[in-house]
Amino acid sequence: MAWLIIMSDLISWQKKLCPALWPISLLYGLGMRLRSTYWAHSTHTWNPPIPCISVGNISWGGTGKTPFCQYLLKLSLKYNLRPVILTRGYKASPPVYPHLVQVNDDPKTCGDEPLLLAASHAQAKVVVDPNRTRAGKWAIANLDPDLFILDDGFQHQKLHRHLNLVLFSPNDFLIHWNKVIPAGPWREPKTALNRADIFLINTWNRDRQTLATYVARKLTPFNKPIFYFRICPRALINLNTQTRHPHLNNEPYILVTGIANPKKVLSTITHFLGYPPKNHLFFPDHHHFEKKDFEHILQLAHNDKIKHIVCTTKDALKLKKFTYPHLLALEIEVQFDTEDEQRFEQILLKKISRQD
């Protein structure tokens, strides 16, 4: 809870101090433009011999990159491709780089999101290395891939990509448009969007028609395809028995989150079950849950006479070691409208087959 308060205070202070922070943002943005220009003309970039799709954003987290990488894994396997995800592995500490993620890895070794990606599709390979050029060359030599998926790759310009996907949240258009660090959460100014090939809007279940008005006003000048998607819950999975539950029979539950956008998870689970949790415990993004954390969660559950504890699939990787019989993970998936999904697939397949 303290972490959420800190983040809320940070956003609040950014709004209050925006005029004072704006000159620093201009300097930061200039630095990022110069960096982009350097890599665009550098001879030190690597152009891989297979198609490479970058999944990234222009702001801090919360746009759905990990679920979208899962979607791309599923899509590539549908077309009999052998995908390899290249990721830096935030907070990972493997014994050696590059590190090929194994489904029985400790999240502290490979990072929680790489482990989630590896566990979600057994045929896919996930390679952790801050130096993604090194990781890519190692994968070519050892894994025989057909396709690279570059996780959180929009700002990683050392490696050439054949398709640049940029994901947005509604707040990128409604609140944060072109507000660059430190005045806002954007990593680069809006001119960076010229590097994108496709824009993908995570609607967060907002009304698409209303949101589309703001999106069109901001993105139409870039003349790139725009698609809308949402992240939808599928079921609650018991981490001990792997049983799938479509509901909890209106029984109370505690929600535990250690992700960048806990409020979105709260909204999703409330909508899915039809009622909110009795309590929502916030932890920092990528939090490594320790015994004392889980004891605190259990104590709150005991005090309120609640048996069900619900978490995200990312947090489940770190909580399942406590073998609590009523620990449930919320399974989610990316969904497009049918015609949008077909058009997106067509553009994607055409682009990576040409490799231009």
Residue 126, domain CATH: 3.40.50.300
Mean pLDDT of 283-289: 90
The pLDDT, as a whole number, for residue 354 is 64
* 154 inside domain: yes
Region 13-23: what's the mean pLDDT? 70
Query: Which residue in the block uniquely carries the two structure tokens 């998926």?
Result: 149
Residue 61 has pLDDT above 80, yes or no: no
Separation between Cα atoms, residue 265 and residue 208, nearest integer Å = 19
Q: Write down the pLDDT at residue 12.
A: 60
Q: Give residue 1's pLDDT band: very low, low, confident or very high (50, 70, 90).
A: very low
Averaged pLDDT for residues 254-269: 91
189 and 277 belong to one structural domain? no
Cβ burial 133-148 (10 Å sphere, 16+ → b, else e) = bebbebbeeeeebebb
Residues present in the chain in total: 356
Q: Give the tens place of pLDDT for each residue, 176-230.
A: 999 999 999 999 999 999 999 999 999 988 889 899 999 999 999 999 999 999 9
Whether residue 304 is contained in a domain is answered as: yes
Is residue 28 within 8 Å of 182, Cβ to Cβ? yes
Question: Do 344 and 274 belong together in one domain?
Answer: no
Q: Are residues 207 and 283 in the same domain?
A: no
d(CA 56, CA 69): 10
**pLDDT tens digits for range 91-143:** 899 999 999 999 999 999 999 999 999 998 888 899 999 999 999 999 999 99
pLDDT at 4: 44
Is the same domain home to 89 and 108? yes
* Domain CATH for 264: 3.40.50
Range of the domain at 294: 232-332
Total structural domains within the chain: 2
pLDDT of 5 above 70: no
Shared domain for 60 and 144, answered yes or no, is yes
**Residues 293-340 pLDDT 10s:** 999 999 999 999 999 999 999 999 999 999 899 999 999 999 998 889
